[in-house]
Every structure is written in C-alpha cells, then in structure tokens.
Amino acid sequence: MNDRHTRTILVVDDIEASRYAVSRILRKAEFEVREAENGREALRLAAERPDLIILDINLPDMSGLEVCRRIKAEPTTASTPVLHLSASFIQSENRSEGLEGGADGYLVYPLEPRELIATVEALLRMRAAERAARSQQELLRVTLSSIGDGVVATDSAGIVTFINPVAQELTGWREDEAVGRPLDDVFQIVSQETGQPAHNPVAEVMRSGRIAGLANHTILIAQDGTHRPIDDSAAPIRDAEGQFVGVVLVFRDISERRRLELELQRRSDDLVDRDRRKDEFLAMLAHELRNPLAPIRNSIQVLRPKHSGDPDAERAGAMIERQVAHLVRLVDDLMDVSRITRGKLELRRQAVDLAEIVTRTVEAVRPQAEERGHQMEVALPETPVAIEADAARLEQVISNLLANAVKYTATGGQIRLTAGREGGEAVVRVRDNGIGIRPEMLPRLFDIFQQADRVPGHISEGLGIGLSLVRSLVEMHGGSVSASSSGTGQGSEFVVRLPALTPAIRAPATPPAGRVEPPKRPLRILITDDNRDSAESLAMLLQLSGHEARTAADGEEALAAAQAFRPEVIFLDIGLPRGMDDYEVARRLRQLAGLETAVLVAMTGYGQDEDRERSRKAGFDHHLVKPADLEQVGRLLSETARANHKGGR
C-alpha cells in the first residue's frame, strides 16, 4: 500500500486493555486497525492479508508462536510481516524463539509509542522493498522470455552458430540456412547516406575484444531485399578462462523510432513556432492590459486637484493608484518571466548601496502594509554595503518578497526586514508572522505558477510567478534565495544572499527622488492613440500642467494635425488598428517641415527589447510603456522645454 491511510494492521491480544492501547497508538498514526482476541480469529483475519500483524505470544487457545508459524507456512500470507508483542515472554531466549519461528520483529512491554510506530514503519518498508525486488525479478524473467531483439551468435571465426526467431524474421534467413554461414552473408548492412557496405561491429569485436556498436543510420538488407533501419551492439563471448570464443550480436528494427524522430522533429519545429506565437501573445496581452490602465491612472491625476481636501476622495484615489500599480506589476512580472525563459533579460549592473535599494523599496510597499494595519520594521546596516547589481531588478526582488509578506499576513501582523553584510555576502531577510508554509510546499515554492495555500480570510490573488521571478533574478546576480517556515500559522522567512563588493568599494550616492521641476514654458503636444480614453485623459492631465495638447485617433489624422498644430512633442501609440503602419507614421512625421526637431515618443503597451529597438530605428526619441510613469513623462517634458528654451524656440 502506498497511502498510509489505507494500510491495515491486525492487532492480536486476548487482553482488551493492551489491545486497545496498541490500537489507539496505531490509529493516532493514521493506520487502519483490525483486532482479534485469540489465535483462531487471528488466522481467519490474517487470510484477508493485512499489511502487518502485531501478535501477542500468550493467547488463550494457541501460542502466538504457533499462530506465526502457520501464517508463515501459508503461501498467501507468508510475506506478511509479523511483530511479536509480549508482556510476559521478555527474555532473550523468548525473543530468539519468536524470531526463529518466522517473526520479523519482537517488542516487549512497557512499550513506547514512538518505538512501536518506528518498528512498524521499518517492517512495512522492508515488505515494500521485498515486493519491489520480486516485481523486478518477475519483470526480468518476462523480458528475457519474450525479448523482441534479434540475436545472432558466432564462433571465433565469425561463423553463425545461433540465430533467434526475431533475427530470422529481420534477416529473412531461417536457422537451418544461417547456421554455419559467415556472418557477412546473413547480416548485410549498408550506410543509409551512401548505400556502401557499413562497418560490421562483429569485426570490431573480433579485432579489439571489446563491445562495439553500429554507426548511426545503418540499413539492414534482408534476404528478400527488404531494407530496414537498425541499431545494434556486439559483445565478445569468453569461456571460463577468459578466452575469446565468439561474438553475440543484438540488433533491432528502428523503423518506428526513425518515424518518431521525424515526428518529434516536426513537433519541435511546431513548438518553436508556438517558446514564438506565445511571445507574440504575451506581448499582445501586455498591450491590451496596459491600454486601459493608462486612462485610469491619468484620470485619477486629473481628478486629484478637484478633490483636494476631501479625505474620502483622496483615500479612494490612493486605492485606485495602488491597484493600478499592482496590475502593472503583474503584467511586468509576466513579461519578465517570458524574457528570462528566452534568455532575453539583461541586467544593467553597477555598484549600488544595498541600504538605498532597501529604503526605496520599503517606501513603495509601506502603503500596502499600512492599509492592512501591519507593523513594518526595517533594520539597515550601520556601514554601507556595496553590491554589483541592477538596482531596478533588485528592487523588484525585495518588492515581491515584501508584497508576499503583506499578502499572507493577517491584519495587524508584523513584518521585519533586515539587511546587512554577512561575511562576503550582502543578505536581505524578510520575516513575517503570517500563515506560514507547509513543509511539503517548501521544495517547490519557487517553481513557476506555484502559490501558497489558500486560507479563508487571507488575500490569495496573484499569478504564481512572483517567487519564480525572484529566484531567477537573484540567480542572475550570482546569488541565492531560500525560504523557511515552522509550518502553518508559524510565519515564514525569505533570505536573499548576493555577493558583496569589498568594503573599500563604495556605491555612488543615488540622488533622492523628488518632484519634477516644472517646465520653463508650456509645450505644444500631440497625442495619437486609437484608445480615445487614453489619449483624452493624458491630454487633460497635460493641460492641467499648463501645456497645450491635442489628440488624434489614427495616422492620417495625426499627420493632418501635426501640419496644422506643429507640435514640439508627439506621443504616438504603437499598435494603431487601422490605416498606415505606426512606424511609417513616425517616419512621415519626421519628414514634415518644421517637425525635424520634434521629440517623438512611442507610447505603447509593447515593451520588449525588440519593440524598443524597432521604435529607435523608426526615429523615436523615447519609448514609454503604458501606463507610463507620470514622473517620467514630466521629466521628459521638462527636459524638452529646457532644450527648446536654450535653442530659442
């Protein structure tokens, strides 16, 4: 039995209290228990083939030793393990007599529950091993009696001495025809590519005395001219003194295998077309998911000044912003997993200070923790810890771990992040007192699409890719990540270890993120997007910032508006559903008089490396992924305004 819940143990004891005590221990360990109070009943129930029998020595109708001998003498029950258990026959000679009578184990009272369960488990493992060994022996017997390979044996001179039925069928030679002939007459092989005689492995064995095999793509020509692809091996036959006395050749028809190889190659090509269509689908999915997020984020920014001072409105706006950010992160994680799988994700590594990365990440996640009433403690190193890392990707790692801690910790929980140097490593620990992790879940926790247990009352949304992405990004940095937990309800801890730079190397200080300085003057901005909500919400937001903004729905409308409006900045959606190609629109905009120096910005849901490269080649100055970071948009416009001001525009 493979499942503990279905393993049955027969307990035989005439004393009800003893029988009850043993049965209770076993049931607590999740075994199914049957009971008998005398030898006759024990033999009757033993015929039902329980997985193990616990047998008292002193029974009222017959000795437990006799019951054991009868059980072991019956073929149908001989393999059933028997464990003697006695309170009175406790001397070494009693144990010897019991084991000599066929018992597999012998325990005496007083009995420790742990010892009983350990002994039972050991005997059941032994029985399982014996069953497995018998199964293997039976499998080998059946295989040898019905072997499907062709077998030919020769003497030391290469003359056929034996040919089995399969070999007769494949070569077309009957045994009476083949025996006594040179092997080359019976076993004719040629190269599939050239049609010339192939090297015979038997000749190689006769020359070297070692095992030899056919070259690939070898064809066997039967007596009737039939061609079959085969593979084979030949081995020397030696007598008791080790003298070479002949060769045995084993070969098989691999026509079906060749067919399957061709089919697998075709399927492999299909799969490649699919490691490609999947990537196209993910890119389209990201585009379609990001499109509605852009107007939502823009609209919140438009409404924010109008509801300034209204606590409920500001709170609702903050909620929407957090959820939009969550959706953006899910889309980005999904795309990053795809890039890592394809080997397309590249790290932009430089010396950075661990504390700065942790601080920025914590501040980004803290609103989520505060919303659920968590206490978040952060302990940073007293001295800088420099690491060579892609700061954005490392923030992504820590953000995912903190977000998981927030998600899987009950309201009012405690989350603690510590960062510092341990030997030659930079170490980040994220610990919580949340729902914990079952031990059997830990080994596969970082596999893609794995999620923690769903517990009523706890948030459990997500795609199951966050921790897989964490492991991939950490390993790309040459580090490792591990998880530990004492079990369900006991909280958990995640530990990230990265190679630290020598203390003498200091990471350059990162300028603090602040508000983007307002533009020197308003700009004329054209927004082209078939998603009118996206275009109009961005236009409204830019107008509130003092810029002059207009919108267009397709390429033709954009060209007409650009000629009349002469924009200084053009946001152009990539993925317009109708009209001319988006990149053609970009090229034609560049050719319009007065727009040679206009800043052309790709605003799109497509954000893969190849998308960015294509937009660059088409003449775009910037490539922003929807929903665009508004601080980034503001910075871009400020830089454009300053550049135009210096240029006198």
Query: Are 69 and 16 members of one domain?
Result: yes
Same domain, 44 and 77: yes
Q: Is residue 554 part of a domain?
A: yes
Peptide bond between residue 110 and the one before it cis (omega within 30 degrees of 0): yes
Q: Which of 259, 285, 310 is the last residue of a domain?
A: 259
Task: Report pLDDT digits (tens) over 15-25.
Answer: 999 999 999 99
Same domain, yes or no: 158 and 232: yes
pLDDT at 475: 92
pLDDT at 318 over 60: yes
Same domain assignment for residues 128 and 161 = no
361 versus 630: which is more confidently predicted?
361
Write down the pLDDT at residue 145: 41
Residues 151-165 have a mean pLDDT of 88
What is the CATH classification number for the domain harbouring 428?
Answer: 3.30.565.10
Within this chain, do residues 215 and 130 fall inside the same structural domain, yes or no?
no
Structure tokens at 404: 């998981």
> Are 354 and 493 within one domain?
yes
Give the pLDDT score at 448: 62
Within 10 angstroms of residue 245's Cβ, the number of other Cβ atoms is 15
Count CB atoms within 10 A of the CB of residue 194. 9
Looking at the domain assignment, is residue 338 inside a domain? no
| The predicted structure's pLDDT at residue 1 | 40
Supply the pLDDT for residue 474: 93
Mean pLDDT, residues 305-316 taken together: 72
Alpha-helical segments (H) within 477-581: 532-544, 555-565
Q: Where residue 577 falls among pLDDT bands split at 50, 70, 90?
A: low
Could you tell me if residue 511 is inside a domain?
A: no
Rank 213-217, 259-263, 456-460, 514-518 by mean pLDDT and report only the highest.
259-263
Asked which of 5-9, 45-49, 255-259, 574-578 is least confident by mean pLDDT, the reply is: 574-578
Residue 246: enclosing H or E segment and its boundaries? strand 244-253
Q: What is the dihedral angle through the alpha carbons of 342, 345, 346, 347, rounded to the nearest 10 degrees? A: -140
Residue 517: the pLDDT is 44
| Residue 178 neighbours by CB distance under 10 Å | 22
Rounded mean pLDDT of 565-587? 80
Across the range 219-226, mean pLDDT stands at: 91
Counted domains in the chain: 4
pLDDT confidence tier of residue 511, bands split at 50, 70 and 90? very low
Q: How confident is the model at residue 266 (pLDDT cuts 50, 70, 90)?
A: confident
Q: What average pLDDT does the segment 492-508 reach? A: 81
What confidence score (pLDDT) does residue 3 get? 45
The predicted pLDDT at position 2 comes to 41
Whether residue 92 is contained in a domain is answered as yes
Task: Report d(CA 82, CA 153) in Å as an integer.
Answer: 49
Domain co-membership, 415 together with 474: yes
pLDDT at 306 over 90: no
Residue 222 lies in a domain: yes
CB 321 within 8 A of CB 385: no
| Whether residue 236 has a cis bond before it, omega within 30° of 0 | no
Element (H, E) at 350: strand 350-353
Q: Indicate whether 446 and 311 sit together in one domain.
A: no
Cβ contact 274:282 at 8 Å: no
80/49 Cα distance (integer angstroms): 7
Cis status of the peptide bond prior to 577, with omega within 30 of 0: no
Mean pLDDT of 444-473: 66
223 with 307, same domain? Answer: no
More confident residue, 104 or 443: 104
Say yes or no: 523 and 473 in one domain: no
Q: Assess if residue 233 is contained within a domain.
A: yes
Structural contact between residues 236 and 210, judged by C-beta atoms closer than 8 angstroms: yes
Q: Band of the pLDDT at 573, cuts 50, 70, 90?
A: confident
Choosing from 233, 259, 285, the residue where a domain stops is 259
Asked if residue 302 and residue 212 are part of one domain, the reply reads no
The Cα–Cα gap between 414 and 491 comes to 10
Domain of 198 in residue numbering reads as 150-259
Tell me what the mean pLDDT of segment 226-240 comes to: 84
Report the CATH number that the domain containing residue 61 is assigned in CATH.
3.40.50.2300
Q: Is residue 637 domain-shared with residue 563, that is, in the same domain?
A: yes
Contact 195, 227 (CB under 8 A): no
Range among 46-55, 108-117, 243-252 with highest mean pLDDT value: 46-55
Q: Is residue 427 part of a domain?
A: yes
CATH value at residue 171: 3.30.450.20
- Percent share of the chain, pLDDT over 70: 85
Q: What is the C-alpha to C-alpha distance for residues 518 and 165, in angstroms, rounded to an integer?
A: 91
Provide the mean pLDDT of the chain.
Answer: 83
Task: Tell me which of 143, 168, 187 is where a domain ends.
Answer: 143
Average pLDDT (525-550) is 87
pLDDT at residue 356, rounded to an integer? 92
Does the residue 512 lie in any domain?
no
pLDDT of residue 245: 86
pLDDT score of 4 more than 70: no
What's the pLDDT score for residue 204? 82
Residues 6+ apart with CB under 8 A from 103: 55, 68, 82, 83, 84
- pTM of the entire structure? 0.43
Q: Measure the CA angle with vertex 626, ends 622 and 631; round to 5°.
A: 70
